[in-house]
Structure 1
Amino acid sequence: MRALIQRVSRADVVVDGETIGEIGPGLLILACAMQGDTDEAPAKLAAKISKLRIFRDDEGRMNRSLLDTGGSTLVVSQFTLAADTTRGNRPGFSTAAPPEVGERLYLALADELAALGIPVAKGRFGADMAVTLTNDGPVTIWMDTDA
């Protein structure tokens, strides 16, 4: 799985004019299931994200994790993270998992984070979503379970 993680002071996602998920301080996680991802990928990604030390400690250093801070997550499916831009001007998305696999792994990622005791809000798989965030730092990190 692939994820773009942003440390936020707040974030929300709106579908058809309705706010379906919102958080205060924590992480906005844009997630994409890739071709070949296994059922173990969401747990591996959730464990890594939960322990990623990107929150400030008392001295202002990035030394605390989401588990340390008690922050929340907003998990949003984002198949465009699979974009292949190596040829031409139109990105290809053939490396993304098929929708039925992508949805299952996306929901599993949210469930794995919740199982770790992290509050989770979600977007809606396959929907046209408006995501608003206030990036804190800014801190934005790319993660890939294959890397």
Structure 2
Amino acid sequence: MTFEELQPEVTAITTAVSLSREEKLLAICQLLNKQIAHYNWVGFYFANPETKTLHLGPYIGAPTDHTVIPFGKGICGQVAVSNANFVVPDVAAQDNYIACSLTVKSEIVVPLFVNGQNIGQIDIDSHEIDPFTEADERFLEFVTHEIAKLY
């Protein structure tokens, strides 16, 4: 499926009245993981501004020990501070990277804004080197925009 074809599916999930917010987030993870070949781990982290930590939310993929990430640490922690997308073509080239699995070769993280505040992010890992394009970024910005409507 193309990103354009996936957009209405994402919207259908976020507007489904029969699903809780957590179920919607998990359904989006499942959809992206299934339909986009280079999305091997798809998950959400949510910010706790008081403790300056990110907490793992719904995800699909290999289990991770990284359920709490301090702001500034790793790719996700850096996005919590920068409020900007972060595309990592090759995780081996990153000094401030938290290794979740030896199979992860690249990562993209896009922040989730609600009323101008970064409340979390979508995090995608890939087993391929440099698979993420500007189209991935635009699509994931669309996804986070749709999810923001849940808050």
- TM-score, normalized by length of structure 1? 0.31
Work out which of the two has the higher radius of gyration on C-alpha atoms and give 1 or 2. Answer: 1
Higher relative contact order (CA 8 A, sep 6+): 1
- TM-score, normalized by length of structure 2? 0.31
